[in-house]
Amino acid sequence: MVASGVEMLREYNFDGLVGPTHNYAGLSPGNLASANHAGEQANPRAAALQGLAKLRFVAALGVPQAVLPPQPRPDVGALRRLGFSGDDAAVLTRAAEGDGQLLRLASSASAMWTANAATVAPSADTLDGRTHLLPANLVTMFHRSLEPPTTTRVLRAIFDDASRFEVHEPLPATEHFADEGAANHTRLATGAGAAHLFAWGRRAWGEAPRPARFPARQTLEASRAAARALRLPSELALTWQQTPAGIDGGAFHTDVLAVGTEGFLMLHERAFVEHERLLAELGARLGDEFRFVVASEAELSVADAVAAYPFNSQLVRLPTGRLAIVAPRESEACPAARRFLERVVSEANPVDAVHYIDVNASMKNGGGPACLRLRVALGDDDAHALGARVLFDDALGGELEAWVGRRYRDRLTADDLRDPALLDETRGALDELTQILRLGSVYEFQRAAQ
């Protein structure tokens, strides 16, 4: 916990619910898992239940949990903006012609990875004492660039008390301000103060080393703009470059090679350029309470780190005040990753345990436990002021599991995306979900019907 005046803040993990069109389309260059599993048959029902099981497990550890809803897919509105016309069935049929890539892009369930939904600054850190949320524009990948309008409406429905929260408009949607959200942001805090580490892969203006193989998604300019939008004092914001070698190795976001919370950071030596200088800077800002663990390339290769995702684990605070790591089963199965995590637990740092969970449906598209959650630090009064039923408890969990069982298919291939019945099923499912979560009309198809 961290103090904010007389109020204590707790970190809530807002987990993204897996959407009804969960599939394996291989849409993200630089995401090796996504590319390697492209074209496989998916099971949206099992994937969604797997995500809910992860959420339940973390909640059982005593960690506050919440949920964020999926987005409507296929995005027929986006396809119409690309020139397809006719009724919905005709739009889907025409977009599926040829290799069907445009339909696959408009059908991605990628909003499930809510680490990319926004960047968050808690009230303890901001100039006006409110919690600020900046939805990411995600302009680097077309299928993800479709998410920000709905994400913004959803966040504004939840964080609707303007005296406590501000949900900003995303940064301008250009390559110069390409913003990937909290997947490239880490907040660290000790008794000495806080530091917001904003990672970036390229500069929009000026020279900096770039990866040769895969795109660098976050710009320095976006990271600086995000810090300003979040109303952070300049002394709390720290921008640092990802290594081009790490990006080329498959670390398309920083959270593939680094994860931190409170006064603890674990990272690969190829997560950031001049990582030793970065750690010295963080130590100067955070004081003697700051702890870190670095994996060398010899101990754990970037290739193994990208395949097993030990750094895309959740670092969660237990009721004891200590930390635990929630890692994917793939990290347990990889000897080098497992040994590294065992070392983290054995050394003198705040981590007491590592738990391995099955999120394989997400991992096959390049998302581990950390990708599936957006961290928001809230006081008790802030949590009670949320404008929707998104805080997780057993009752909500049971309703969501039953909803998935009723509404989701247990088989989905690329050919199924052209089926108008799938579009109707998805809209019906999401309309019901907004009633369960008491979100109101946050989807465009709901707003159009009013």
Q: Which residues are catalytic?
A: 180, 253, 371
Q: How many CA atoms lie within 13 A of 314 on its CB side?
A: 34
- Give the integer Cα–Cα distance in Å for 20 and 419: 13
- Give the integer Cα–Cα distance in Å for 110 and 27: 10
Phi (first) and psi of residue 351, to 5 degrees: -90, 125
Q: Are 351 and 259 in contact (CB under 8 A)?
A: no
Alpha helices in 74-129 (DSSP H): 76-81, 88-95, 101-105
Alpha helices in 309-393 (DSSP H): 329-333, 335-346, 360-363, 380-384
Contacts for 53 with CB less than 8 Å, ≥ 6 apart: 357, 358
**Nearest alpha carbon to residue 341 among 273, 259, 428:** 259
**Nearest alpha carbon to residue 361 among 107, 47, 53, 31:** 47
Give the three-class secondary structure for 303.
Answer: helix
Tokens linked to 379: 């006081």
- Give the integer Cα–Cα distance in Å for 326 and 356: 6
Q: Are 121 and 182 in contact (CB under 8 A)?
A: no
**Nearest alpha carbon to residue 154 among 29, 64, 60, 66:** 66
- Give the integer Cα–Cα distance in Å for 402 and 433: 11
Tokens linked to 276: 């030793």
Residue 163: Cβ-neighbour burial (10 angstroms; 0-12, 13-18, 19+): exposed
What are the beta bridge partners of residue 379?
9
- Give the integer Cα–Cα distance in Å for 69 and 9: 24
Task: For residue 361, give Cα distances in angstroms to 114, 218, 366, 443.
Answer: 15, 26, 9, 25
Give the three-class secondary structure for 189.
Answer: strand
Cβ of 191: how many Cβ atoms within 10 Å?
Answer: 11
